[in-house]
Amino acid sequence: PGMAGGFLLEIRRGTQSALLVIRYEADLPSSPVDVSVAADRLEVRSGGSCEAAALPAEVRLLPATCRGLRRLRGDGLHLRLRLRRPPPSADLVFTLRESLKPQTNYVFYCQSCGDIIEKDRNFLRVLPLPSENWSALVEEWCCHPNPFARSTLHPRHHDCFLGDTFFLLNSGNESHKSKENTRVFCKRCKNMLGETVSSDIIKYYVTEVVTGPSEGSFNPTPRSQFVQSIVAQCLVELSSAKSTFRFTVKGDDGKIYILIWLLNSDTLLVESLGSSSSHSVFTRFGDIFTPSSGPVGTWNAVKVLYQPCIKSKSKDLADAWESDIGVHPLKFPSETCLELLLVLGLSTISLPPSLRYMNSFQVRNSCS
C-alpha cells in the first residue's frame, strides 16, 4: 500500500519544530516499512513499492533530529523533527482599519452572490469602535455618573465605524423608517448581510460582505473558505490587540453557538493526499480545500480548541465563559455560526484520530 493515505506535516514556525504523520488508510503492511526523511523529500518503502513526495521549497528538514517514532492504530506513523530554518512568516493579522481607507471609493458586495450592496461609498473618516463592553468599563473608571450614558456612537453620512466583526455605515436615508435590530438581506440571494441599528444606520457583518475599490470587480471565494479565513484572522487580531485567547461565538439571536480557545497562530500545514483514489477520510473541508497546485499543498493556519454549544450542550461551561471578563465575545449572524460549526467539524475529522481531541475540546486547524 505504500503511503496510501499521504502525509501531514504540522510545522510550528516559532520553535522550528514539526510533527510528521505518515498516514495509512488501513493497517500497516505486513512487510517491513522503511521511512526515509531527507531535507527536501520523504520516502516510504515497503516490499517492492516506494512512495515519495517532494516538500515545498520553503520547507527544509533536519533529518538527524528525527525522534519519537511510533505507530498509532488508525493514524499511521508519527515522528517529530526540527527544521533547518523557519519558513517565511505568514501575515495572518486582519484589521478592518487597514481594509478601508478614507478618501477612496468603495463598493460593498454580498459575499455569497456578488450582488452590489453599497456603490461608490467614499468615507471622510474610518474609525474603530471601542469594545462592546466599553460603557460598563466607563462606569468602573469614572468617580462620577457616566457622561456617555445617553450618547450613542453613530456614524455620519461620510463615516465608517469598525467593530470587531462588523462595519457600521450611515445609509443617509432617514425617510426609510426601519425598526432597530431588523435584519438586512441581500436582494438577490436573500442571505442575511447585517441588521439596522436605527432608521439610517446599518451594521454589515464582515463574514457577509466583501469590500473593494470602485474600479475593481468582484472575485468570488468559496463560502466555507471565506468564513473560516475571516474568523481565523479576527481571532489573531483580537488576541494580539487584547491579549485574550478565549472567545464565545454568538449569533444575532443572542445565543452562544461555539466556545473557541486559540492555541497558536504560527502553524504551517504541509499535506500530501498520497496515491490512493479515495481520500474521503483525510481531505481538508471537502473538495474546496484539496490542493490545487500538485500533489502537495501548504496552508497557513491557526490552531484552536472548540466546544459546540447547540442544543444546551456545554451550557455550564458557556455560562462560565460568558461571565468571565477574560473571554471576548464575537457576534455573527446565527446562520454563519452554524456554517462555522460545520467547518470546524470538517476540519476535525480531516485530522488523524489521535490529534482530534484535547481533554473535552475538539482540535481544529483553521486555514487563513
Q: Alpha-carbon dihedral of residues 127, 208, 232, 335, nearest 10 degrees?
A: 130
pLDDT in tens, 217-276: 898 999 999 999 899 989 998 998 888 999 999 999 999 999 999 999 999 999 886 654
At residue 243, the pLDDT reads: 87
Order the strands of the 49-54 sheet from edge to edge. 33-37, 41-46, 49-54
Low-confidence ranges of the chain (pLDDT < 50): 1-2, 175-176, 276-293
pLDDT in tens, 123-156: 999 998 877 666 556 666 677 776 666 667 789 9
At residue 147, the pLDDT reads: 65
At residue 86, the pLDDT reads: 86
What is the C-alpha to C-alpha distance for residues 310 and 250, in angstroms, rounded to an integer?
11
At residue 325, the pLDDT reads: 87
What is the C-alpha to C-alpha distance for residues 290 and 272, in angstroms, rounded to an integer?
10
pTM: 0.86
Residues in the chain, how many? 368
HEC per residue, the chain: CCCCCCEEEEEECCCCEEEEEEECCCCCCCCCEEEEECCCEEEEEECCEEEEEECCCCCCEEEEEEEEEEEECCCEEEEEEEECCCCCCCCCCCCHHHHCCCCCEEEEEECCCCCEEEEEEECCEEEECCCCCHHHHHHHHCCCCCCCCCCCCCCCCCEEEECCCEEEEECCCCCCCCCCCCEEECCCCCCEEEEECCCCEEEEECCCEEEEECCCCCCCCCHHHHHHHHHHHHHHHHHHHHCCCEEEEECCCCCEEEEEEEEEEEEEEEEECCCCCCCCCCCCCHHHHCCCCCCEEEEEEEEEEEEECHHHCCHHHHHHHHCCCCEEEEECCHHHHHHHHHHHHHHHHHCCHHHCEECCEEEEEEEC
Q: Is 366 within 8 Å of 345 (Cβ atoms)?
A: no
Query: If you search the block for the grid coordinates 501548504, which residue do you land on?
Result: 298
At residue 364, the pLDDT reads: 76
At residue 140, the pLDDT reads: 67
